[in-house]
Structure formats: structure tokens, C-alpha cells
């Protein structure tokens, strides 16, 4: 009887560990989905609106980074947030050419997608 009880406890432990792993995966998937959804940006907004939108995105990306344990994903979220801060600063200074920022942001998004896999 003790052997059956021991196996039952061990099986329960495995199930709980698996559930924790699933929860972490779901959290990562949710964070990735939201972060990738934040990547849209309308560069045709006036500079003040664009800077405000970039600031909001950077703040949310940093919040998401604080929710994940995966270090690669966390770093990619912070990098993307920094990119939006740079855009906010660029627009605040009235620099209109966004081509280099768009290319750098596309690279950052590719890295984020890879970290989300």
C-alpha cells in the first residue's frame, strides 16, 4: 500500500511540474503575442502623437519584460523598448527621416520572433 501511495505522490508531482511548465509556456506565448502586436506604428502621425505612442509602447514592452523568466526573450523586449525610446527622442528633436529606425526596428522584431519560438 505504501508503494502505491509513493507512486501516487510521485505522479502528482510530475503532473504539477508539467502544469507549471505549461503555464510558463502560455505566459511566454501571451507576452510574445502582445509584444509583436505592439510593433505596428503609424509614422504619419504628427511628431507629438508619434512620440506619445512610442513612449506608451516602450513602457508596455518593459512591463512585459518584467513578466517573463526567459532571459533571451526578456533582453529582446528591453531592446525593442529601447528602440521605441530612441524613436520618441528622435521625434521630439524633430528628426523626420525614420528609415534607419525602421530598419533597426525590423531587425529587433526578427530577433524577438526568434526568441518567441
Task: Band the pLDDT of 95: cuts 50, 70, 90.
Answer: low
More confident residue, 106 or 26: 106
Q: What pLDDT is recorded for position 88?
A: 81
Q: Report the alpha-carbon distance of residue 14 to residue 117 in Å, rounded.
A: 24
Q: What pLDDT is recorded for position 94?
A: 67
Q: Report the alpha-carbon distance of residue 55 to residue 86 in Å, rounded.
A: 9
Q: Report the alpha-carbon distance of residue 56 to residue 52 in Å, rounded.
A: 6
pTM, to two decimals: 0.71
Percent of the chain exceeding pLDDT 70 equals: 73
Question: For the chain, what are the domain ranges?
Answer: 31-116
Task: Band the pLDDT of 14: cuts 50, 70, 90.
Answer: very low
114 pLDDT more than 60? yes
Q: Are 68 and 54 in contact (CB under 8 A)?
A: no
Q: What pLDDT is recorded for position 2?
A: 52
The counts of H helices and E strands in the chain are: 4, 0
40-85: per-residue pLDDT in tens?
Answer: 877 677 878 888 898 999 999 999 999 999 999 999 999 999 999 9
Amino acid at each position: 500500500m505504501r508503494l502505491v501511495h509513493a507512486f501516487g505522490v510521485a505522479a502528482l508531482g510530475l503532473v504539477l511540474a508539467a502544469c507549471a511548465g505549461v503555464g510558463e509556456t502560455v505566459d511566454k506565448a501571451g507576452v510574445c503575442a502582445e509584444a509583436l502586436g505592439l510593433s505596428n506604428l503609424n509614422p504619419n502621425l504628427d511628431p507629438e502623437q508619434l512620440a506619445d505612442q512610442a513612449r506608451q509602447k516602450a513602457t508596455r514592452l518593459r512591463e512585459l519584460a518584467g513578466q517573463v523568466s526567459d532571459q533571451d526573450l526578456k533582453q529582446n523586449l528591453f531592446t525593442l523598448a529601447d528602440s521605441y525610446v530612441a524613436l520618441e527622442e528622435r521625434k521630439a528633436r524633430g528628426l523626420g527621416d525614420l528609415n534607419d529606425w525602421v530598419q533597426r526596428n525590423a531587425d529587433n522584431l526578427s530577433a524577438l520572433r526568434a526568441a518567441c519560438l
